Amino acid sequence: MHSLVDGQWRRNAYRATDESGEFQRQETSFRDRIEADPDAQFPAESGRYHLYVSWACPWAHRTLVTRALKGLEDAITVDVVDPVRRVDGWEFAPEKEGCTPDTVNGADKLREVYTAADPEFTGRVTVPVLWDKERGTIVNNESEEIMRMLDVAMHDVAADDVDLYPEGYRDEVDRIIDEIYDPINNGVYRAGFASSQSAYESAIDDLFGALDRWDDVLADQRYLAGDVLTEADVAMFTTLIRFDEVYHTHFKCNVARITDYPNLWNYLKELYQLPGVAETVRMDHIKNHYYESHRDLNPGGKVPVGPDPDFDASHDRDELPGGPPEALQR
Ligand SMILES: N[C@@H](CCC(=O)N[C@@H](CS)C(=O)NCC(=O)O)C(=O)O
């Protein structure tokens, strides 16, 4: 895999799998925080922060869904990279549909944003990136932490009163985000990038075991943490929405589709139909990214035409107690 080493771009700088063929995701590196306190190093302010994302990336997608649900579109600007990642890593391709230039730093490649923050940076150049326009640096590039900052620290600058980390549910939300990461969110990658049969099968067992369990839970519970919508649902959503179109085929997660699970499928449609969420789902970028970037898995780069699930079809979730926050009931 390609990455920066002491500020220099190195191709094939590291292996993504260990000796047993298990996929190992490397830690992210910028871990500062926006805080609600006006005296903080990174205080919550409208217009000050910027997100670099790919529509394709499930981790970046978490930050876009949170931004949409909370009505942070005017407070936080966004630039979008080319969905196809090549030997130079993420690049800007403003001429492509759905992409933008780098409107903040004028970079051609996302790695220039990393070296602008730290000229000696060593590590992966990943999306999402949360950039502070005032200090001219990266605040954080870990999606779970960015999602939490947008949700909690930026709450007072958000247009909609939507709390995705409500008091009384916080431990449960943290527990679930943690619990679904390994088998589900990262599980699809563990299956797709496994370089041995045993590593692949172990990822598949974990993945479908967890999906079976959550399908049962969602039979009589509206959302993952109970009757309220939380960050845990955002974390689950960005994996489920890619599942049938990409992971099922490209990562060989083909024991079942999400549309085969009655409760997960209806739950997914409900989340997709919440105000602002569908606009964050660019399936063209999602499919082009995976099928064209990972040429080791898909040498011809052909993008499958199907199965095109109907995320707008009606769902049955209103039969269960609870529901979205009032600000989203429109
Ligand atoms: N832990 C990070 C992971 C982000 C991540 O791995 N993003 C992928 C895209 S889906 C990426 O940018 N990969 C580029 C690379 O690894 O070189 C997060 O959740 O923010």
How far is C-alpha 221 from the geometric centre of its chain's CA atoms? Answer: 24
pLDDT of residue 198: 98
Instruction: Please state the domain count of the chain.
Output: 2
Residue among 28, 59, 86, 140 whose CB has most ligand 1 atoms within 8 A, to mutate: 59
Residue 162 lies in a domain: no
Contact between 297 and 250 (Cβ < 8 Å): yes
Residues 115 and 176 both lie in one domain: no
Residues in the chain: 330
Q: Rounded mean pLDDT of 31-56?
A: 98
**Residue numbers of the domain that contains 218:** 170-281+297-328
Distance 6 CA to ligand 1 centre (A): 19
Residue nearest to atom 11 of ligand 1 (CA): 126
Pocket around ligand 1: residues whose beta carbon is below 6 Å from it? 1, 28, 57, 59, 89, 124-128, 141-143
Q: Rounded mean pLDDT of 183-208?
A: 98
At 42, the pLDDT band (50, 70, 90 cuts) reads: very high
List pLDDT tens digits, range 127-142.
Answer: 999 999 999 999 999 9
Residue nearest to atom 2 of ligand 1 (CA): 142
Residue 217 sits in a domain of what CATH number?
Answer: 1.20.1050.10
List pLDDT tens digits, range 139-176.
Answer: 999 999 999 999 999 999 999 999 999 999 999 999 99
Asked if this assembly's ipTM is beyond 0.95, the reply is yes
What average pLDDT does the chain have?
Answer: 97
At 12, the pLDDT band (50, 70, 90 cuts) reads: confident
Residue 323 lies in a domain: yes
pLDDT of residue 13: 81
The Cα 278–Cα 212 span in angstroms is 25
Catalytic residue numbers read 57, 189
Residue nearest to atom 1 of ligand 1 (CA): 142
Residue 28 has pLDDT above 80, yes or no: no
